[in-house]
Chain A
Amino acid sequence: MTKIIEPKKQRNIFSRPSSEEGVWSWITTVDHKRIGIMYGYAAFFFLLVGGLEALLLRIQLSQPDNNFLSAAEYNAMFTMHGTTMIFLAIMPISAAFFNYLLPLQIGARDVAFPRLNALSFWIFIAGGLFLYSTFLFGTAGAPEGGYLAEEVSRLASAPNGGWFGYQPNAGLKYSPGTAMDYWAIGLQILGIASLVSAFNFITTILNMRTKGMRLMRMPVFTWMTFAVSFLLAFSLPIIAIALFFVTFDRQFGTTFFLTEGGGDPVLWQHLFWLFGHPEVYILILPAFGIVSEVLPTFSRKPLFGYPAIVFAGFGIAFIGFGVWAHHMFASAISPVAQAGFGLSTMIIAVPTGVKIFNWLGTIWGGRLTLNTPMLFALGFIGMFVIGGLSGVTHSVVPADTQQTDTYYIVAHFHYVLFGGALFGIFSGLYFWFPKVWGRMYNETMGKIHFWLMIIGFNLTFGPMHWLGLQGQVRRTWVYAEETNLGFWNLIVTIGAFILAIATLVFMANWIYSRRKGEVSPFDPWDARTIEWSIPSPTPVWNFSKAPEVKSLDDFWHQKYGEDEDGRAVRREGTDELLLQLEEEGLNPKEEIHLPSPSYFPVIMAFGLPFLGYAIIYKSIPLALIGVIMLLIGGFGWGTEPLEEEFESSEEEPESGESKNYE
Chain B
Amino acid sequence: MHIKKFLKPKNFILCSFLFITACIEDAPLDSLSPAGPYARTIDELFWLTFWIAVVIFFIVQGALLFSVFYFKDSPDKPEPKQIHGNNFLEILWTIIPVIILASIAVPTVRTIFDLAREPDDALKIEVIGHQWWFEYKYPDYGITTANVLVIPEDTPIRLEMWSNDVLHNYWVPKLNGKRYLVPGQKTYLNLHADNAEEFWAQCGEYCGLSHSKMRGRVLSMSESDFDAWVINEQKNADNKLSEGSLAYEGQQVYLNAGCTQCHVIGGVWDVQGERIAPNLTHFANRNVFAGAALKNNSENLTKWLANPAELKPGTFMPNLELTEREIEALIEYLGTLK
Contacts and interface: CB of A to CB of B under 8 A. Distances in A.
Given A335-B116, A485-B24, A364 B167 contact: no
Given A350-B101, A378-B68, A393-B53, A259 B183 contact: yes
Given A147-B317, A304-B84, A402-B42, A365 B184 contact: no
Interface string B34-55: 0000010110011001100100
Interface string A362-393: 01111111100000001001100110011011
A155 interface: no
Given A147-B318, A354-B94, A361-B89, A71 B71 contact: no
Contact of A259 (B184, B200, B213, B319): B184
A149 B27 contact: no
A510 to B, nearest CB: 23
B79 A569 contact: yes
Nearest to A486: B24
Which of A142, A300, A390 has the most CB atoms of chain B within a 10 A radius of its CB? A142
A662 interface: no
A44 interface: no
Contacts of A338: 112, 116
Given A398-B177, A566-B82, A470 B24 contact: yes
B25 A484 contact: yes
A402 B80 CA distance: 48
B137 interface: no
Contact of B64 (A70, A354, A360, A400): A360
B240 interface: no
A346 B79 contact: no
B46 A393 contact: yes
A72 B73 contact: no
B126 interface: no
B258 interface: no
Contacts of B317: 147
A254 to B, nearest CB: 16
A346 B206 contact: no
Interface in A274-294: none
A330 B112 contact: no
A306 interface: yes
Contacts of A331: 167, 180, 182
Interface string B57-94: 10011011001100111000111111111100110011
A304 B165 CA distance: 54
Interface string A240-254: 000000000000000
B314 interface: yes
A174 B208 contact: yes
Contacts of B83: 301-302, 304, 361, 365, 566
Interface stretch (A7-15, A161-169, A603-611, A641-649): A161-169
B31 interface: yes
Contacts of B165: 143, 168, 174
Interface residues on B, range: 35 or more
Nearest to B19: A462
Given A169-B206, A350-B97, A357-B93, A367 B77 contact: yes
Interface string A338-365: 1100110011011001101110110111
Contacts of A166: 166-167, 205-206
A290 B124 CA distance: 55
Nearest to A401: B177
B205 to A, nearest CB: 6
A473 B49 contact: no
B26 interface: yes
B80 A301 contact: yes
A484 B209 contact: no
Given A147-B318, A365-B83, A399-B45, A332 B185 contact: yes
Contacts of B57: 385-386, 389
Contacts of A476: 211-212
Given A343-B105, A346-B104, A356 B60 contact: yes
Contact of B108 (A260, A364, A386, A397): A397
Contacts of B184: 259-260, 264-265
A423 B19 CA distance: 22
A373 B81 CA distance: 22
Nearest to B93: A357
B23 interface: yes
Contact of A75 (B98, B209, B315): B209
Contacts, number: 332
Contact of B84 (A302, A363, A472): A302
Contacts of A659: none
B257 to A, nearest CB: 16
Contacts of A404: 177-178, 204
Nearest to B102: A346
Contacts of B302: none
Interface string A556-571: 0000001001111100
Given A342-B108, A471-B200, A142 B98 contact: no
B93 A353 contact: yes
Contact of A397 (B72, B82, B112): B112
A227 interface: no
Contacts of A169: 166-167, 206-208
Nearest to B38: A398
Contact of B71 (A264, A299, A393, A398): A299
A483 interface: yes
B84 A568 contact: no
Contact of B32 (A175, A265, A470): A470
A146 interface: yes
Given A331-B182, A402-B177, A485-B24, A349 B101 contact: yes
Contacts of A367: 71, 73, 77, 79-80
A477 interface: yes
B176 to A, nearest CB: 8
B29 A389 contact: no
A546 interface: no
B109 interface: yes
B42 A398 contact: yes
Given A147-B308, A361-B86, A354 B166 contact: no
A308 B180 contact: no
B313 A149 contact: yes
B27 A484 contact: yes
A264 B184 CA distance: 8
B178 A402 contact: yes
A266 interface: yes
Given A301-B80, A343-B105, A370 B68 contact: yes
B3 interface: yes
Interface in B189-218: 200, 202-213, 215
A567 B78 CA distance: 8
22 contacts: A71-B313, A71-B314, A75-B206, A168-B166, A305-B90, A360-B64, A363-B64, A370-B72, A382-B61, A382-B64, A396-B49, A396-B108, A403-B31, A455-B3, A466-B23, A469-B30, A469-B32, A471-B30, A477-B212, A483-B27, A483-B29, A487-B24
Interface of A: 70-72, 75, 142-143, 145-149, 162, 166, 168-169, 174-175, 259-260, 264-266, 299-302, 304-308, 330-332, 335, 338-339, 342-343, 346-347, 349-350, 353-354, 356-358, 360-361, 363-370, 378, 381-382, 385-386, 389-390, 392-393, 395-406, 451, 455, 462-463, 466-467, 469-480, 482-485, 487-488, 562, 565-569
Given A146-B315, A392-B53, A451-B3, 9 more contacts: A302-B83, A306-B85, A350-B97, A385-B57, A395-B108, A400-B177, A473-B203, A479-B212, A565-B81
Interface of B: 3, 19, 22-32, 39, 41-42, 45-46, 49-50, 53, 56-57, 60-61, 63-64, 67-68, 71-73, 77-86, 89-90, 93-94, 97-98, 101, 104-105, 108-109, 111-113, 115-116, 131, 165-167, 169, 171, 173, 176-180, 182-185, 187, 200, 202-213, 215, 293, 307-310, 313-319
Cβ-closest 4 pairs across A and B: A471-B29, A401-B177, A259-B184, A476-B212
